[in-house]
Amino acid sequence: MPHVYDHPRAALTVDCVVFGFDGGELQALLIRRGLPPFKDTWALPGGFVRVEETLDEAARRELEEENGLRNVFLEQLYTFGSVHRDPRERVVSIAYFALVKPEAVAAATDAAEAKWFPVSDLPTLAFDHAEILTTALSRLRGKLTYQPIGFELLPRKFTLTQLQRLYEAVLGHHLDKRNFRKKVLSLDLLTPLEESRQEGPHRPAQLFRFDPERSDRLKERGFLFE
């Protein structure tokens, strides 16, 4: 396709902030750059948008190519367009954030040069990726309190304690067990399973799964956590 509009053009990339949860800390997936600029520095997975794919498609393609990730929760975050974010030329980047279930975390780690870092202890990042990551983190915190997306970071079957640990890790403070359980169950989003999980020398925990159908009903009204 020829350039109908004739200007010097910025290059377009997508960058993905991929969050995972290991049961204790919130983690972000980074990739070590093999080429300059910022060779050998950690960076967000991402790459150029092709002229025949949408932005979402570009983000999903990069996640699959670079990290072997499929079917993750993915949402557009913000578009970063500082003039000199890339030292070589003008590059505008549409940032996404992704939430990955533990089942998929292993796959991601297999990918060459990809590694999970706890968000509390990140290495120096290339470009403006530290800023992007900070933006993603505050968006995640915000969303967690008014939309049921925490489940995207947990295995399909999980206990209420796991869910509470996740909320505590992301929000950064302790929650009261009884109030948390009362609140979560009152939202009527979880289906208790027959099974329970035995893990250690103590009473086994009831397993639940998230019920997206119930969630849809709720989404419109909105809910509020905390």
Please report how close the Cβ of residue 14 comes to a copy of itself at its closest, in angstroms. 9
Please report how close the Cβ of residue 199 comes to DNA at its closest, in angstroms. 8
What is the Cα–Cα distance from 203 to 196, expressed in whole angstroms?
10
In sequence order, which residues have a C-beta less than 8 Å from that of residue 72 and are 6 or more positions away? 18, 63, 98, 99, 100, 101, 104, 152
Please report how close the Cβ of residue 102 comes to DNA at its closest, in angstroms. 16
* Residue 89 is a catalytic residue: no
Which H helix or E strand runs over 128?
Answer: none
What is the Cα–Cα distance from 92 to 137, expressed in whole angstroms?
20
Asked if 27 interacts with DNA (CB under 7 A), we say no
By C-beta, is 34 or 222 nearer to DNA? Answer: 222
**Catalytic residue from among 113, 195, 199, 226:** 113
What is the Cα–Cα distance from 124 to 138, expressed in whole angstroms?
19
Q: x/- string (CB under 7 A) for DNA, residues 101-140?
A: ----------------------------------------
What is the Cα–Cα distance from 130 to 124, expressed in whole angstroms?
8
Q: Which does 70 bind (CB under 5 to 8 A by kind): DNA, a copy of itself, none?
A: none
Binding positions for DNA, rule: CB under 7 A: 159-161, 176-179, 181-183, 196, 198, 200-206, 224, 226
